[in-house]
Amino acid sequence: MGTKQEYETPDEGQQQPPRRNFKKIFLVLFLVLVVGLAAGIVLNAVYGKSGKTGGSAVSRSSSGTGSGDIPGSHDAGEGSSSTSSRGETPAFSGTRALGHVVELSQQIGERRAGSMKESSAADYISGKLGEYGYTVEEQPFTTSDGFGSRNIIGTRQGQSEDYTIVIAAHYDSAEGTVGADDDASGVGVALELARVFAASRLKPTIQFVFFGANFPGSADMNERLVGSRHYVELLDSMERKDIVGVIDIDCVGQGQVLALKTQGTGLQRLKDKLQTFASKNKISVVTLNSSQDSDNIPFEDAEVPAVWVEWCEPGGALSTDNAFASVQPVKLEQAGTLVEDFVKGLTSNDLEELKY
């Protein structure tokens, strides 16, 4: 009570409390100012460093070196026919060709002519050609034993409509084998070439033809090469004239030498030009005569320039167990790149020489 009365006296109660409050307020304001300055210095240092780090991160992103912009990280997929983001033409890949061998020999298996599995192989090939952007058609036919088969044809128009290069392979296999070398290997190389060629318009029209009912392993030539014979029979005179070369790819998965084979009776100018190309580019090939076994024969009989590309033994014999494990990707790639580079390098003069 005494303290209260002291504050209420006229001399002391009205003067002393304001001086004491002013000192407290001044002290509080001073402390706030000091703390604020200190906090400002700290925050400026922290955010200054943070800002530099952020600027560096933005710079990396815009320069294209972030993880989302690694060159080649955007894979177009096995079925894509487009060029890369840098405008490069797709390169032939033995590994991709081997992937088709896996599908045909391991997933589908034995593809005896006229069987459901041969038909499944035809569906697979047709689907791939369509995926790559080719105009696809089929040629159904019946074999002498009454079974149905078909040729699958994929066409890409060239710069000139008067010249056609046919790249061919048969997709059936001998009875009792999965036909990994004979001739899933040839189909794999041909399909990979189709993917590569789809990325650019070449001078000649390119036609990929996959024959059914080759009947590999049969000793009776009258029963052989049914699909390719059917294809040739359906050609009219103008179509036959426009085909300046047929490159038949058959058994290219194993062997000692890369051979260019013909039966030696038809026009030899395609074989000669391909041999010259290989020699100029230091590609080791041999030329051999073969009067049977592959789909170049019906074309040679019809006076259409044709050559059979094959990996074989030095004397020309085919030694294969037709097992997938025996197929060598490097041999697929060597055969494929030979055909790829040859076809891409054909000039107008080359095409004229092949035609006439």
Taking the CA atoms of residue 180, residue 181, residue 184 and residue 190 in that order, the dihedral angle to the nearest 10 degrees is: 150
d(CA 70, CA 66): 7
Share of the chain above pLDDT 70, in %: 75
Convert the pLDDT of each residue in 247-276 to its tens digit: 999 999 999 999 999 998 889 999 999 999
What number is the average pLDDT over the span 243-248? 98
Domain spans in the chain, listed from the N-terminal domain onward: 94-355
Residue whose entry in the numeric block shows the structure tokens 């041909």: 190
> Looking at this protein, which amino acid is placed at residue 282?
K
Reply yes or no on whether the pLDDT at 81 is more than 60: no
Q: What is the pLDDT of residue 332?
A: 98
E strand segments, 250-285? 257-262
Q: What is the pLDDT of residue 77?
A: 40
Q: What is the mean pLDDT of the chain?
A: 82
Q: What is the pLDDT of residue 66?
A: 34
Burial 215-233 (b: 16+ CB within 10 A, else e): bbeeeeeeebbbbbbbbbe
Convert the pLDDT of each residue in 86-125 to its tens digit: 356 789 999 999 999 999 999 999 999 999 999 999 999 9
Statement: 94-355 belongs to CATH 3.40.630.10: yes
**pTM of structure:** 0.76
d(CA 122, CA 138): 9
Query: Going by C-beta distance under 8 Å and a sequence separation of 6 or more, which residues neighbour residue 339?
Result: 167, 189, 193, 247, 249, 309
d(CA 145, CA 135): 31
Backbone angles phi, psi at 73, to 5 degrees: -80, -15
pLDDT higher at 321 or 335: 335
